[in-house]
């Protein structure tokens, strides 16, 4: 009895948010429904530290990496609803593709993780030093302009 009333409550919430209860939600096993919806409602759809548009762009990247056309469609449309441009969607897709390419190469080459970790730390330190040096340079008027004499 409790499961049926929970199911009815979840369906009411889903319908109030989306205008319907999608078929795939109805196909979720009853014991998983509450947990799935709670995570979707309280994390994915909620205001969190990551803005909704960025969550959707992450979703697009993951959809591309996992080759999920359902997720690609859903997250692309949701990204647009949250203000993402076609250019941002393309960049998210490209970022996922680039990351997958590099990951495939590193794993296939069996790159030593400790060497990779050390080199990454060195590159981050290098970047931090250059950022600090750049912020200590006093801006000059017309710095990027060409000389006039």
Please determine, for residue 135, whether its predicted confidence score (pLDDT) is greater than 60: yes
Other C-beta atoms within 10 Å of 37: how many? Answer: 21
88 and 120, same domain (yes or no): yes
Other C-beta atoms within 10 Å of 42: how many? Answer: 10
Please determine, for residue 144, whether its predicted confidence score (pLDDT) is greater than 60: no
For residue 18, being part of any structural domain is answered with yes
Please determine, for residue 61, whether its predicted confidence score (pLDDT) is greater than 50: yes
Please determine, for residue 46, whether its predicted confidence score (pLDDT) is greater than 90: yes
**Average pLDDT value for residue range 16-31:** 97
Q: Between 60 and 135, whose confidence is greater?
A: 60
Please tell me the predicted confidence (pLDDT) of residue 116: 97
Q: Which of 62, 55, 53 is nearest to 80 (CA)?
A: 53
Q: Which residues contact 92 (CB under 8 A, 6 or more apart)?
A: 57, 58, 60, 61, 79, 84
What CATH number is attached to the domain comprising 125? 1.20.1290.10
58 and 124, same domain (yes or no): yes
5 and 54, same domain (yes or no): no
Cβ neighbourhood burial of 65 (10 Å; 0-12, 13-18, 19+): middle
For 115, the domain range is: 50-133
For residue 58, being part of any structural domain is answered with yes
Over residues 71-87, the pLDDT tens digits come to 999 999 999 999 999 99
| Tokens encoding 56 | 């959707």
**Residue 84 in 3-state DSSP?**
coil
d(CA 46, CA 87): 25
* Model confidence pTM above 0.75: yes
Band (pLDDT 50/70/90 cuts) for residue 5 is confident
Band (pLDDT 50/70/90 cuts) for residue 138 is low
């Amino acid at each position: 009895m409790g499961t049926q009333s929970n199911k009815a409550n979840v369906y009411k919430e889903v319908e109030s948010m989306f205008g319907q209860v999608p078929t795939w939600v109805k196909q979720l096993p009853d014991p998983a429904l509450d947990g799935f919806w709670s995570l979707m409602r309280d994390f994915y759809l909620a205001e969190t530290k990551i803005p909704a548009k960025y969550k959707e762009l992450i979703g697009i990247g993951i959809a591309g990496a996992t080759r999920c056309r359902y997720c690609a469609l859903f997250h692309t449309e949701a990204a647009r609803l949250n203000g993402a441009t076609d250019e941002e969607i393309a960049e998210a897709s490209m970022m996922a593709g680039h990351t997958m390419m590099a990951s495939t190469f590193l794993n296939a080459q069996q790159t030593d993780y400790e060497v990779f970790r050390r080199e990454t730390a060195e590159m981050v330190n290098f970047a931090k030093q250059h950022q600090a040096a750049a912020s200590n340079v006093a801006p000059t008027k017309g710095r990027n302009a060409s000389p006039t004499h």
